[in-house]
Amino acid sequence: MAYWLMKSEPTESSIDDVLAAPDQTVAWFGIRNYQARNFMRDAMRVGDGVLFYHSSCPKPGIVGLAEIVSTPYPDATQFDPQSHYFDPKASPEQPRWVMVDVKALRAVPLIPLATLRAAPELADMPLLQKGNRLSITRVAPAEWRWINQHLIAPPA
């Protein structure tokens, strides 16, 4: 099992939006960075754990726990000329971009970026490295365990 931190702008898809969906699942579309795409295409597996992270908002941070619930498949927005995520170089025969389905398991009290930065145990987390702006990053098993044991409240 692997672990991931996946960023979403809450105006695009918030943890509350996903939890309110009938199956609590969202297609993680619109990724247009090759490294993040490669994580989804080559490394993510059904059952992998996800830290759901709100970004580009007044209070960024971890807001939920989720899991990967599909294998990668072509992101349909790359073929839609009306989409912000349209890619004229992509075709159904040779898609360039993929997505996976992510199921929200539960919301957690906001864990702000400053709290993550203050934990020496998380110093090597890719999210916390200078200049890292990837929307999907790996989370080491030890980091996953530490966050869950020390920062995430147990379910009520």
How many distinct structural domains can be found in the chain?
Answer: 1
Model pTM?
0.95
Distance between CA atoms of 108 and 152, rounded to whole angstroms? Answer: 6
Distance between CA atoms of 89 and 143, rounded to whole angstroms? Answer: 38
In sequence order, what are the residues at sequence separation of 6 or more whose Cβ sits closer than 8 angstroms to the Cβ of residue 18?
24, 25, 26, 52, 64, 66, 102, 103, 104
Task: Provide the CATH number for the domain around residue 105.
Answer: 3.10.590.10
Q: Is residue 155 part of a domain?
A: no
Q: Is residue 97 part of a domain?
A: yes
Residue 156 has a pLDDT of 64
Q: Is residue 117 part of a domain?
A: yes
Q: Is residue 41 part of a domain?
A: yes
CA dist 32 to 20, 53, 94, 96, 129, Å? 26, 18, 15, 9, 21
Digit-by-digit pLDDT tens for the chain (156 residues) are 999 999 999 999 999 999 999 999 999 999 999 999 999 999 999 999 999 999 999 999 999 999 999 999 999 999 999 999 999 999 999 999 999 999 999 999 999 999 999 999 999 999 999 988 899 999 999 999 999 999 997 766
Range of the domain at 44: 3-149
